[in-house]
């Protein structure tokens, strides 16, 4: 019996058709899997913005005591075994007298006595990201207590005016005085004592005005009532949003979801990255990718030009190419350790000794920051840019190079005016791949600059405006952190998927821009060839 082979059963045409069909099937399968993953991320992520109705819930605890609460209900996917079979679990986020700012519990179906939508109860989002589920009753003002809910908008407008006055005093008066006092303290001259006393008295005067206005703000309160009738009071300056989710129509829910998307993109995270927005992480991700692209592109292109145009065709060049290709397979965490040890501790430490010695032992550049993170990611993505650029350089026809030399151009002029323009689409391909990989890497960034929460953005209004030594937030790190909270918090899980969807959109937009640029370069320089 001979060796089994497909050729025994299929002709050459049938073999070719079989290979094409198998390839199409595999490609279709991968496409379906990709669409399913994207659909899952989009569905779970949109749940973070879609308003949930507030329910009136009556349940019995393990001790047999009955409780009445307002809360939001989410069905869990876990199950517990009873003698009667598998019971459905319900994840409840509720508010009551003991936990006015929200608590979570898991209930089995037999423990729930009553569950209905409470149209008169509201979902109240506070400024710190916490939520209160209760029935609004009245509004307290300094001059009148127990005003009807129709006066809530007027009370909030007055609170906003008072808060603006407080912010104005702090920025225009207190902050300049504080800076002048700090300057006098640094000088430590006895002749400055009268000026210091005058500034201190002025500071106390403005501070008194701030305290007076804050006391007025504290008198504006919203009185609410929990499901069991217990009263509670919320300061209006803490109230960020009040929504009667049980009364919303579909269009009303879409409007609330749109506002939630804007809040998600424009605000900072709250409640240990389980609520609020992701603007610092979005800004940090785009900034890091932008700096990384600026750093890696020229070095990658120059390395590829040397290997393709100047390096001799010998074994040493072959070894260099093999090393460059192998660098793309090095685990990313190794690059993170290298960046921490070489860039942060060694290079950053030397910079501190040379230029910031007056601030030592407190490090300036010798600590993880956005610049070292971008430089580490540039080293990580450098092999991708080199390989893609070299492939683009090899595709330039030799006759074009010979024609350029025949016209009297030097090698440098030929590279600049002939080779690089034609190879620019290949260069952009390498940049696209570098951006895609840099945006998705998390492990090295956690060692060289990315943190769960950064109090300040790397870019602000203070000179030099772009602070490359500051730590930054990254969408990948935010997703990593949200994966732990999602095990116990249903909204945190939705926020994690929303952050995943945003990261995919960032990568998609950056890649689209690079593809458009590549297409224009190709149309510009390859039109006549």
> 3-class secondary structure for 353-416?
HHHCHHHCCCCCCCCCCHHHHHHHHHHHHHHHHHHHHHHHHHCCCHHHHHHHHHCCCCHHHHHH
3-state secondary structure of 455: coil
Rounded Cα distance, 290 and 274, in Å: 27
Q: Are residues 124 and 142 in the same domain?
A: no
Q: Which residue has the higher pLDDT, 447 or 10?
A: 447
What pLDDT does 487 receive? 55
Which stretch of 331-335, 360-364, 365-369 has the lowest confidence by average pLDDT? 360-364
Query: Is pLDDT at 522 greater than 80 in this prediction?
Result: no
For tokens 């082979």, what's the residue? 5
Instruction: Please tell me the distance from the alpha carbon of residue 226 to that of residue 68, in angstroms, as a whole number.
Output: 9
For residue 3, is pLDDT > 70?
no
Q: 491 or 244, which is more confident?
A: 244
Whether 413 and 430 map to the same domain: the answer is yes
Cα dihedral across residues 279, 284, 289, 291: positive or negative: positive
- Do 97 and 164 lie in a common domain? no
Omega of the bond leading into 429 within 30 degrees of 0 (cis): no
**How many CB atoms sit inside 10 A of residue 18's CB?**
12
| Residue 506 and residue 368 share a domain | yes
Together in a domain, 144 and 130: no
| Structural domain includes residue 394 | yes
Query: At residue 129, does pLDDT exceed 80?
Result: yes
> What is the average pLDDT score of the chain?
83
pLDDT-based confidence at 10, cuts 50/70/90? low
| 97 & 169 share domain | no
**In the numeric block, which tokens belong to residue 349?**
């430490």
Name the one residue in this structure whose structure tokens are 């890091």.
288
Radius of gyration of the chain (CA): 31
Q: What is the pLDDT of residues 132-184, one digit of tens each?
A: 999 999 999 888 888 888 888 899 999 999 999 999 998 888 888 888 887 77
CATH of the domain at 465: 1.10.3720.10
Asked if 226 and 339 sit in the same domain, the reply is: no
Within a domain: 21: no
* Residue 332 sits in the same domain as residue 451: yes
CA distances from 305 to 58, 296, 391, 427 (A): 73, 14, 11, 11
Residue 222: pLDDT band with limits 50, 70, 90: very high
* Residues 370-396, mean pLDDT to the nearest whole number: 89
Give percent above pLDDT 70 in the chain: 90
Q: Give yes or no for a contact between 115 and 92, defined as CB atoms under 8 angstroms apart.
A: no
% of the chain with per-residue pLDDT over 90:
11
Q: How confident is the model at residue 471 (pLDDT cuts 50, 70, 90)?
A: confident
Among 81-85, 198-202, 230-234, 410-414, top mean pLDDT goes to 230-234
The number of distinct structural domains making up the chain is 3
Question: Is the pLDDT score of 77 beyond 60?
Answer: no
| Domain span at 300 | 279-525
- At 80, the pLDDT band (50, 70, 90 cuts) reads very low
Show which of 229, 246, 263 is a domain's final residue.
Answer: 246
Are 81 and 152 found together in one domain? no
Residue after which a domain boundary falls, among 134, 160, 176 = 134
């Amino acid at each position: 019996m001979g060796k089994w082979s497909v050729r025994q059963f299929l002709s050459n045409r049938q073999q070719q058709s079989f290979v094409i069909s198998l390839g199409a099937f595999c490609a279709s399968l991968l496409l379906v899997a990709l669409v399913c993953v994207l659909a899952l991320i989009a569905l779970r992520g949109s749940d973070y913005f879609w308003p949930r109705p507030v329910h009136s819930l009556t349940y019995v605890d393990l001790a047999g005591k009955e409780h009445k609460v307002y809360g939001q209900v989410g069905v869990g996917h876990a199950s517990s075994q009873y003698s009667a079979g598998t019971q459905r679990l319900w994840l409840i986020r509720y508010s009551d007298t003991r936990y006015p700012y929200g608590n979570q519990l898991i209930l089995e179906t037999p423990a729930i006595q009553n569950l209905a939508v409470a149209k008169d109860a509201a979902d109240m989002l506070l400024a710190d990201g916490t939520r209160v589920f209760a029935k609004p009753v009245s509004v307290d003002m300094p001059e009148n207590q127990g005003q009807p809910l129709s006066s809530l908008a007027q009370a909030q407008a007055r609170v906003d005016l008072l808060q603006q006055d407080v912010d104005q005093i702090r920025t225009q008066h207190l902050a300049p005085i504080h800076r002048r006092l700090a300057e006098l303290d640094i000088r430590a001259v006895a002749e400055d004592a009268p000026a210091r006393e005058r500034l201190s008295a002025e500071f106390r005067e403005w501070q008194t005005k701030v305290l007076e206005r804050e006391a007025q703000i504290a008198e504006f309160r919203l009185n609410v009532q929990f499901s069991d009738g217990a009263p509670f009071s919320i300061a209006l300056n803490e109230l960020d949003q009040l929504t009667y989710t049980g009364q919303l129509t579909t269009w009303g829910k879409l409007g609330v979801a749109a506002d939630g998307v804007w809040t998600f993109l424009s605000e900072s995270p709250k409640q240990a990255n389980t609520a609020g927005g992701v603007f610092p992480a979005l800004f940090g991700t785009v900034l890091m990718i932008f700096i990384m692209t600026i750093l890696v592109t020229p070095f990658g292109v120059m390395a590829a030009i040397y290997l393709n145009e100047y390096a001799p065709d010998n074994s040493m060049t072959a070894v260099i190419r093999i090393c460059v290709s192998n660098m793309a397979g090095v685990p990313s965490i190794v690059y993170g350790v290298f960046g921490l040890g070489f860039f942060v501790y060694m290079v950053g430490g030397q910079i501190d000794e040379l230029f910031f010695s007056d601030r030592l032992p407190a490090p300036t550049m010798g600590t993880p920051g956005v610049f070292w993170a971008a430089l580490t990611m540039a080293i990580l993505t450098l092999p991708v840019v080199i390989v893609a650029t070299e492939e683009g350089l090899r595709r330039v026809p030799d006759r074009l190079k010979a024609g350029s030399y025949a016209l009297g151009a030097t090698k440098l002029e030929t590279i600049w005016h002939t080779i690089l323009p034609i190879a620019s689409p290949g260069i952009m391909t390498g940049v696209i791949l570098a951006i895609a990989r840099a945006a998705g890497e998390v492990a090295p960034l956690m060692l060289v600059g990315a943190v769960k929460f950064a109090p300040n953005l790397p870019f602000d209004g203070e000179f030099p405006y772009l602070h490359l030594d500051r730590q930054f937030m990254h969408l990948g790190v935010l997703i990593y952190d949200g994966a732990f909270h999602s095990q116990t918090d249903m909204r945190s899980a939705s926020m994690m998927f929303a952050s995943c969807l945003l990261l995919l959109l960032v990568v998609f937009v950056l890649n689209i821009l690079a593809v458009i640029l590549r297409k224009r370069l190709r149309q510009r320089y390859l039109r006549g060839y």
